[in-house]
Amino acid sequence: MLPRHHAKADAYSNGYPRSKDKTTYSISPHRFQPRASPPALRRRRQLLFRLCIILAIGLFAFFIWPGASILSILSLGFISTGEDFQLETVRYYDLSNVQGTARGWEREERILLCAPLRDAESHLRMFFSHLHNFTYPHHLIDLAFLVSDSKDRTLPLLSELLEALQADEDPKMPYGEISIIEKDFGQKVNQDVESRHGFAAQASRRKLMAQARNWLLSAALRPYHSWVYWRDVDVETAPFTILEDLMRHNKDVIVPNVWRPLPDWLGGEQPYDLNSWQESETALALADTLDEDAVIVEGYAEYATWRPHLAYLRDPYGDPDMEMDIDGVGGVSILAKAKVFRSGVHFPAFSFQKHAETEGFGKMAKRMQFSVVGLPHYTIWHLYEPSVDDIRHMEEMEEERKAREREEQEKLDRVKKIKDQFVDTGSQWEKDKTGIQNEAMKEKKEKEKKEKEKKEKERKEAAAAAAAASAPDEEARKAKTLEAAREAGKPQGNPQ
């Protein structure tokens, strides 16, 4: 019987639990366990009985028609059982169909996407944003998460985001079957950036990570998966078409280049994943001198291996399809054919050729004649998490910035004060000016008044003088009138 998601009519009910019990996700291994129930036993007995009868008939026929080939008769018996593969507990898989090809999305090849999680709450939303954007048909991708040694809300948040993703209105959004596997591996070292990347902690950390990956994969890999994609949740930027882009190369194991952006004061960008490399003579010679259990970890001064790293070969303008054969691979983003794992290649949790985890995986795949390739000019970007040194430096810079701001503020204050003073004198001057103007005005008015008064006075004096001058004429007129009256002999009356 075909797995459920191969039934086209029901393409999206792909094994994701639709039950009302939303708190638990069934982990699929349990789903395919044969039932040791009495009906099953009975059916098995019936099958045996039927086979016996077919055999008996076959032998009988052989004796009746000795010319007929017993083989054809027997195969007839098998075909008849093959035709009625009706038993619910029997699954039939043809693994020749799931080898993995360059254009898997056209052939409906299923991918198992594995993501190991540890205290990943802060990155989950970003990871789900990537899941939204993948262009590879979502219903062909099954998701498998391993939640281990987490003290934050990784698991509840993961369930929440998965519910939302699978309930998305857009029929293109929901993914295939989802498995969440919870298991602690007793990671003792702190997961903060410094202890994670410190040299001393590397070997044991890598071995535990290897165990986690193996558990996750062995629990989630199904016979119908053609590909396995390993992806870290702290990838910040990656092409939406990354699955198709990597798949097109049709390699057994393939990784992109992984860099990370940096703040400007640190130079803008930097190679991140130094675990993808090509083997060197120096490293092989070094490996020979090391203890059997020793694990070489790349990217540390303690082991000068002089290996060509995929990361350092990046040319931003280089051909993104250019391939480079590598021996060790980094785990940020690995696309591998499922057959690699089915062949027994895994993530060694011990020293394999002086390497462990993903680097050991690359070496083991190489050892088993699989192709292992890196793309130096096809780059994805890991999240920038400042190291303790960076944080210290940033704190110093922050202090400097504050000091500069204080200084700036003080300068501003000084300028303001001076300006204020200037404005004060200005206003005083303004006042003085009006004062003076007023004074001048007053003076002017006074002067005008005096002038006016003076003029008035002169006019009056002039008028008085004129009056005085005309007075004798009046007397003379009066006298003349008197004289005339006297001459006319008229009694001179007093005018009163």
Side-chain half-sphere of 128: how many Cα atoms within 13 Å?
20
- Min dist CB 177 to ligand NAG, Å, is 23
- Min dist CB 134 to ligand NAG, Å, is 10
- Min dist CB 394 to ligand NAG, Å, is 25
Produce one character per residue of 440-476: b if its CB has 16 or more CB atoms within 10 Å, e if not. eeeeeeeeeeeeeeeeeeeeeeeeeeeeeeeeeeeee
Angle, helices 70-83 vs 38-64, to 10°: value is 150
Name the one range near ligand NAG by CB under 6 A: 22-30, 103-111, 129-137, 411-419.
129-137
- Min dist CB 130 to ligand NAG, Å, is 5
Q: Are 214 and 254 in contact (CB under 8 A)?
A: no
Please report the DSSP string for 124-156 in residue order: HHHHHHHHHH--S-GGGEEEEEEE-S--SSHHH
Instruction: Decide the pairing of beta strands 253-261 and 110-117.
Output: unpaired
- Min dist CB 239 to ligand NAG, Å, is 9
Q: Are 31 and 121 in contact (CB under 8 A)?
A: no
Which residue type occupies 457? K
Q: Which of residues 130-149 bind ligand NAG (CB under 6 A)?
A: 130, 132-133
- Min dist CB 21 to ligand NAG, Å, is 31
Catalogue the E-assigned strands of 155-309: 178-182, 225-231, 235-237, 253-261, 269-271
Which residue type occupies 90? V
- Min dist CB 243 to ligand NAG, Å, is 14
Q: Does 409 bind ligand NAG (CB under 6 A)?
A: no
Nearest 10 degrees: CA dihedral of 120, 123, 124, 125? 160
Residue 373 DSSP label:
E
Contact residues for 107 (Cβ-Cβ < 8 A; gap 6+):
101
- Min dist CB 312 to ligand NAG, Å, is 25
Among 129, 409, 425, 481, binds ligand NAG (CB under 6 A): 129
Instruction: Decide the pairing of beta strands 253-261 and 269-271.
Output: antiparallel
- Select 124 or 274, whichever has its Cβ closest to ligand NAG: 124
- Select 233 or 297, whichever has its Cβ closest to ligand NAG: 233
Sort residue 353 into left (φ over 0), alpha (ψ -120 to 50) or beta. left
Encoding tokens for residue 24? Answer: 């638990």
Lay out the site mask for ligand NAG across 89-128 (x = CB under 6 A, - = otherwise). -------------------------------------x--
- Min dist CB 225 to ligand NAG, Å, is 25
- Select 132 or 183, whichever has its Cβ closest to ligand NAG: 132
- Min dist CB 30 to ligand NAG, Å, is 33
- Select 191 or 241, whichever has its Cβ closest to ligand NAG: 241
Please count the residues of this chain forming the interface with ligand NAG, following the rule CB under 6 A.
Answer: 5
Task: Give the C-alpha separation, 360 to 297, whole Å.
Answer: 10
- Select 13 or 133, whichever has its Cβ closest to ligand NAG: 133
- Select 332 or 372, whichever has its Cβ closest to ligand NAG: 332
- Select 160 or 234, whichever has its Cβ closest to ligand NAG: 234
- Select 240 or 312, whichever has its Cβ closest to ligand NAG: 240
Which residue type occupies 469? A
- Select 133 or 425, whichever has its Cβ closest to ligand NAG: 133
- Select 129 or 409, whichever has its Cβ closest to ligand NAG: 129
Residue with tokens 């000068």: 304
Return residues touching ligand NAG (CB under 6 A). 126, 129-130, 132-133
